[in-house]
Structure 1
Amino acid sequence: INGMPNMNVLVTLGAVASFAYSLTGALLGWGHNYLFFETTASIITLVLLGNYLEEASIESTQKEVKKLAKSQKLMANMIAYDDQHQEQIFPVENTVLKEGDLILIKNGEQVPIDSKILWGDAMLNEAIITGESIPVSKTKKDFLIGGSVLESGLVKAQVTATGKNTVLSGILKMVQDAQGEKPPMQKLADRISAIFVPLVIGIAVLTFLGNYFFADKTVGISMMRSIAVLVISCPCAMGLATPAAIAVGLGRAAKNGILFRNASALESFKNIRQVVFDKTGTLTTGNFVVAGFKSEIDDTEFKKITYSLEKFSNHPLGKSIANAWKTNDVIRWKNIEEIKGMGIKATDEAGNNYVAGSYKILEQPVADNNHNIFITKNNTLIGWIDVADDIRPEAKEVIGWLHDRHITTVLLSGDKKEKCELLAKQLGISEVIAEQTPEQKLEKIAALNAVTPTAMIGDGINDAPALAKATLGISLSDASQIAMQSSDVILMNHGLKNLPYALGLGKHTNITIKENLFWA
């Protein structure tokens, strides 16, 4: 590694030296005292056994990773016209689409490829790409990013990019580049070998010179004694010291829902002094809850009006409010309609007009239009509601655990700065870096890595390049396929709950490796 002799050099020297020594003794008939063929076999057997144990452990975890990230080609609804100029819709794989093709994207479907809306309106969840958890409104001539999800609406779109030219392909390219630049982890046994091998060779050379020039021995005897030094100095146990410890560590991790994509990740945990978190889907669950509200009327009446409106909404925010404020005391509307990109509009039996929606529904400007939902009655504002991404219950405890061990925490997200700062304040995170594109995330991780070994925890496609670049990339089991393939470690089933255990296991494995190497 890096031009320095590693564990394999030490093993090869010992095996070759013992074999040469024994072969010479056998050919010249020097007797059984010169035969060490079993030493050669023992060295090779123990080292191969160690390598097998390590590879078997890694392979068992890799099988689980492959199950999690099993690739599935996305199907698209392609629009074509027959000889009667009638519109026909049929399913095709997104890989066969070409620029200019027409596609139909339905409510709840994933956008199959980068495209531009020709007809229709929709609410789009782009969290997997941008990190923004709240859906955004899209209409004619707006661009859609492949991989995002159509939360509500129906659109016809024209394919604008395919293959390597899509946004998703650009992110994949960044992942590959980051993985290529990431230096391989040098094992502790190899670092010891880098010093030990030259030292042993030096002693062997001195043994030959001392016997030949000062002890008046023949060239043959001097050579055999120097080879004996090489044979005796090769510690067979060193071949098992690291693999055995890693095999046990990987096994314990798997039992506790932690999958390691490679063995070096287990060792690299010991160096981590900084942990960077993504926001949406990592520190939060991706489910919305009512964070706060203010009304100009009685709170109970305000909640009743809001629920009576939002129970008819297809918007994720509206649904979350309706679930939170569900009641049997509802207003029966004379008529009600959902206006795409605006909100819900209704009229009661008395002729009063109510609207629930974004700040766009307001006829009069307000001092603060950053709230999520505004409610008006006859064009007069009667209250507003804030909705937030639900924080993972274990997040605060995990952040506190890291701080107790003097590990710095950073929030790195593509979401809005105000939301990130609020979340960081709630959880006690040290630093906030918000409104970052995948390219900027990659640059930030590279800069942080240069200062101190850094772990990155994320779940979206937009996190994948940063995960690949970090000293240690960690993703969750419900993360995107690309995020899992880019990470070194996958936390299964329990969100962030097992992160402290993984860090502790990495440190204890490193201690065990050092103890094994000492006794070896």
Structure 2
Amino acid sequence: MHCEGCAKAIEKYLRNKEGIISANVSFSLGKAFIEYDERLNEKRLKELIKEAGYEVEEGKKSFWRAIFSLILTIPILIISLFFYRKELNVILFLLATPLQIFAGYPFYRGAYFSLKQKTADLNVLVSISTTSAYLYSALSTFFFDGMVFYEASSVVLTTVTIGLMLEERAREKVGETIKKLIELKPKRARVFRNRREEEISSDEIEKEDVVIVRSGEKIPVDGIIIEGFATIDESSITGESIPVDKKEGDEVFSGSINMSGFFKFRATRVGKDTFLSQTISLVEEAQTSKAKIQRLADKITNYFVPLVIFISFLSFIFWYFITNAPFPFALTISISVLVIACPCALGIATPTAILVGISLSAEKGILVKGGEYLEKFAEVDTLVFDKTGTLTKGKAEVSDVIGDVLQVAGSLASKSNHPIALAIYNEAKRRGVKILEVKEFSEIPGKGIVGKINGKEAMLGNRELINSKIGEELEKEGKTVVLVYFDGIIGAIALMDEIKENAIEAIKKLEGYEIFMITGDNRKIAEAIAKKLGIEKIIAGVLPHEKDKEIINLQKKGKIVAAVGDGINDAPMLSRADVGIAMGGGSDISKEAGGIIIVKDNLMDVVQALNISKATFSKIKQNLFLAFIYNVIAVPVACGALYPWLGFILRPEFSAIAMVSSDIAVVGNSLLLRKKLRKTD
């Protein structure tokens, strides 16, 4: 592919074929992501791409084509600039012809299939401009006495070919994160099979295999440690630079490195299901998705090439027929217009910056599911944080017991999986309290538990379930108070949920944004926690299934909302928000509702994700400005706008250099984003 237009041509061709469900082609990555049904297979997909005019895995053809073009172009330039005589036109023709065929072939092929798809791209511009110059020169050589433009057609083809090769190298640097992630997986691994240790390919590991990892080795798949302990570097997965100590029962992830120690683990996720594979897939798919601003740039690009061809034609008409300029002069200007116009810079302005932003986010343990989420997050003015498990650790512990109610509470709690119920049950077991049999057990969502113990009614829940003021003073301290009713006696149990590390710092860093805390707790508890965090706006007493309605209410007021939650219980809220951010994505990242997943469960990463989003879209605006301003200045200059005053026209070969330079400038500017963001770490 030579430009973003090539990617769009392949997409358009594939999407019109039966059996293709979806097709997204990334010029920046040089990859196609295709969803298809049972009527197609990989071999047929490659055939379809070939039918569209492109090859899968062309290897180093572009390099050798550039070398061949350069070898022929140098003597053409030397003869044309220093030793030119009309008698040498035949030699120039013999040098330029193979170059026009060999170097021009990919452009001709691309132009043919582009026009077949009723689109126009860089291939069309290069094909028309170089062919015009070459054909006129050939006719001048053999049929009439006129100027020749062999050096123009040759330099344009060579410059564009070399420029595209350099641009490809630059784009490879932009996408280096994926390559680094792929390299994290070891090629070989040791497993315990048939009562002995065997070394096999990492791809051959199966679920339930026992894998052996020694000091200094990479972990090949995900699993649970069953023997031994180790200090593991998980920086490639979580972005956390400090190694983590792991012991029996702890989870380990593919791509992390055993810094010291020896352990065996049982494989739980292998192949494409591992955390590393899911991360790679997520990042690749995200980089092919298009942000709103990119779709706008694509629309402009669709009209750009036909407009340039029209301007080129008008320029020729103006200079040749209206000003009576010589034919070679008018042709030179017409060709320069075609060559200098650059749809590529417009096409790659957005995807290259998004590619850097998403890749850098992944390195820091922030997984972004698409460019549209980066774009929207940069526009956010309101952030809504769920309390439990997001701002707090979500592991409540019993701090106070009012009345002799722990046995009843523990018995009721033993029947529930709710975090508060589990905390009460664990406290009862810790104190050696006997658990009683509960009959007619029932859970009331958002309120509590009811049942019968020894034939008497028993209840465990909030003030909506049990009407009492007992324990209100504890709520002012930010504790969650659960009321207990049994046989006419009312008591209470208070639980404390610790605020997460970095939560207060993260909220401070978000100064200037409208911050809300949303919780199912009553207002008194919510206010106590919010005060500690420095959050002024609270949405309290909201049941889990009602949280998305609160997001809608904010959106109706014109707010652009990012919601931050745990990604499971808060899924409706995260899906409803303009940007959903799932904290602690864990191992099964593909099922999260959030458009952005924070792997480390660190709230400072929300701030970092916001900074990356803003920096990325600032860079996109710079890229688009560079691309637009280049074309706004370059096209009129190529049309001969300076000639009446300065006697200056831009030759096609210099136009080609300018065009390629604009492409490389845009890619280079995107690479500066990586440098800028790393400096701010």
Q: TM-score scaled to structure 2, two decimals?
A: 0.43
Q: Does 1:259 align with 2:362?
A: no
CA distance in 2 between partners of 1:441 and 1:501 (Å): 25
Match of 2:605 in 1: 498
CA distance in 2 between partners of 1:252 and 1:23 (Å): 43
Partner SS, residue 474 of structure 1? strand
Match of 1:392 in 2: 500
Query: What's the CA shift string for 1:404-455, capped at 9, x where partnerless?
Result: 2x11123456x35547844545531524275367587168348617724332
Q: How far 1:468 moved relative to its partner? A: 4.0
Partner SS, residue 17 of structure 1? helix
Instruction: Pick closer, same or farther for the CA change 1:258–1:373 going to 2, 3 Å.
Output: closer
Return 309-318 or 280-289, whichever deviates more: 309-318
Q: How far 1:23 moved relative to its partner? A: 1.3
- Alignment map for 1:8-407 (pairs within 5 Å): 12-28=120-136, 29=138, 30-35=148-153, 36-42=156-162, 184-187=291-294, 204=312, 207-217=315-325, 222=330, 225-234=333-342, 241-290=349-398, 293=400, 295=402, 306=406, 310=410, 314=414, 315=416, 317=420, 319-321=422-424, 337-338=437-438, 340=441, 342=450, 357=460, 366-367=468-469, 373-374=482-483, 380-381=489-490, 383-387=491-495, 390-402=498-510, 404=511, 406-407=512-513
Partner SS, residue 286 of structure 1? coil
Match of 2:674 in 1: none
Q: How far 1:258 moved relative to its partner? A: 0.8
Q: Which amino acid aligns with 1:276?
A: V
CA distance in 2 between partners of 1:17 and 1:270 (Å): 36
Q: Which amino acid aligns with 1:320?
A: A
CA distance in 2 between partners of 1:434 and 1:46 (Å): 59
Q: Would you say the 8 A contact 1:14–1:230 is kept in 2?
A: no
Instruction: Pick closer, same or farther for the CA change 1:440–1:356 going to 2, 3 Å.
Output: closer
Partner SS, residue 448 of structure 1? helix
CA distance in 2 between partners of 1:412 and 1:217 (Å): 74
Partner SS, residue 451 of structure 1? coil
Q: Which amino acid aligns with 1:37?
A: L
Instruction: Pick closer, same or farther for the CA change 1:417–1:453 going to 2, 3 Å.
Output: same
CA distance in 2 between partners of 1:366 and 1:510 (Å): 53
User: Of 578, 583, 589, which aligns to 1:471?
Assistant: 578
Q: Would you say the 8 A contact 1:446–1:470 is kept in 2?
A: no
More helix by share: 2
Q: Would you say the 8 A contact 1:259–1:491 is kept in 2?
A: yes
Q: Percent identity?
A: 27
Partner SS, residue 247 of structure 1? helix
Partner SS, residue 494 of structure 1? coil
Match of 2:515 in 1: 409
CA distance in 1 between partners of 2:328 and 2:550 (Å): 61
Q: How far 1:226 moved relative to its partner? A: 2.7
Query: What's the CA shift string for 1:364-407, capped at 9, x where partnerless?
Result: 974569985456899655x42233555433333322221x2x11
Q: How far 1:257 moved relative to its partner? A: 0.8
Partner SS, residue 385 of structure 1? strand
CA distance in 2 between partners of 1:232 and 1:390 (Å): 62
Instruction: Pick closer, same or farther for the CA change 1:63–1:458 going to 2, 3 Å.
Output: farther
CA distance in 1 between partners of 2:622 and 2:333 (Å): 31
Q: How far 1:243 moved relative to its partner? A: 4.2
Instruction: Pick closer, same or farther for the CA change 1:250–1:367 going to 2, 3 Å.
Output: closer
CA distance in 1 between partners of 2:366 and 2:314 (Å): 50
Aligned pair count?
Answer: 376
- Over the aligned positions, Cα root-mean-square deviation in angstroms equals 5.3
Q: TM-score scaled to structure 1, two decimals?
A: 0.55
Partner SS, residue 396 of structure 2? strand
Instruction: Pick closer, same or farther for the CA change 1:497–1:307 going to 2, 3 Å.
Output: farther
CA distance in 1 between partners of 2:319 and 2:408 (Å): 99
Query: What's the CA shift string for 1:269-316, capped at 9, x where partnerless?
Result: 3222222233443334432233x64747xxxxx6xx848984996256
Query: What's the CA shift string for 1:131-174, capped at 9, x where partnerless?
Result: xxxxxxxxxxxxxxxxxxxxxxxxxxxxxxxxxxxxxxxxxxxx
Q: Which amino acid aligns with 1:34?
A: A
Q: How far 1:492 moved relative to its partner? A: 0.3
| 5+ residue gaps, structure 2 | 10-113, 139-147, 185-288, 443-449, 473-479, 627-664, 667-681
CA distance in 2 between partners of 1:6 and 1:471 (Å): 32
Partner SS, residue 509 of structure 1? helix
CA distance in 2 between partners of 1:48 and 1:208 (Å): 34
Partner SS, residue 435 of structure 1? coil
